[in-house]
């Protein structure tokens, strides 16, 4: 009987080395930081205040997902978040990122608040 432990170790090493490529790695927060993913991780990027002194009355959210960094879908633009919330003028925008299983599944949502 052959010992396949060397082959198995080689395959696991190859998979581990490729795990960072394309699995949420292209996303950088506005501060230039790339979030580090664990089994489950959630982070919110620093928001952008567009109009100081105005209290927003509406909230809109636009989300997109990525599976293994290969298949991606959704519209995460500020315009889509504004349309989903019925917002004409944005007061504040923010982005929320949720990683599952070391980035195998990633959900990125843009949140817009305004009037």
Confidence of residue 38 (pLDDT cuts 50, 70, 90): low
Task: Decide: 85 and 62 in contact? Cβ < 8 Å.
Answer: no
Please give the Cα distance from 8 to 22 (Å, whole number): 23
Residue 85: enclosing H or E segment and its boundaries? helix 78-85
What does pTM read for this prediction? Answer: 0.63
Confidence of residue 25 (pLDDT cuts 50, 70, 90): very low
Q: Which of 26, 85, 30, 34 lies closest to 60, judged by CA?
A: 85
**Looking at the predicted structure, is the pLDDT value of residue 28 above 50?**
no
pLDDT at 13: 65
Please give the Cα distance from 18 to 49 (Å, whole number): 37
Lowest mean pLDDT among 13-22, 75-84, 89-98: 13-22
Q: Which of 110, 113, 111, 115 lies closest to 88, judged by CA?
A: 115
């Amino acid at each position: 009987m052959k010992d396949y432990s060397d082959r198995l170790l080689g395959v696991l090493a190859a998979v581990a080395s490729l795990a960072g490529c394309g699995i949420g790695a292209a996303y950088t927060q506005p501060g230039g930081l790339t979030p580090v993913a664990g089994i489950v991780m959630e982070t919110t990027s620093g928001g952008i205040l567009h109009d100081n002194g105005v209290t927003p009355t509406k909230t809109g959210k636009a989300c997109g997902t990525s599976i293994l960094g290969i298949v991606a879908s959704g519209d995460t633009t500020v315009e889509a978040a504004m349309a989903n919330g019925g917002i004409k003028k944005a007061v504040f925008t923010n982005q929320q990122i949720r990683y599952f299983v070391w980035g195998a599944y990633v959900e990125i949502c843009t949140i817009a608040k305004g009037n």
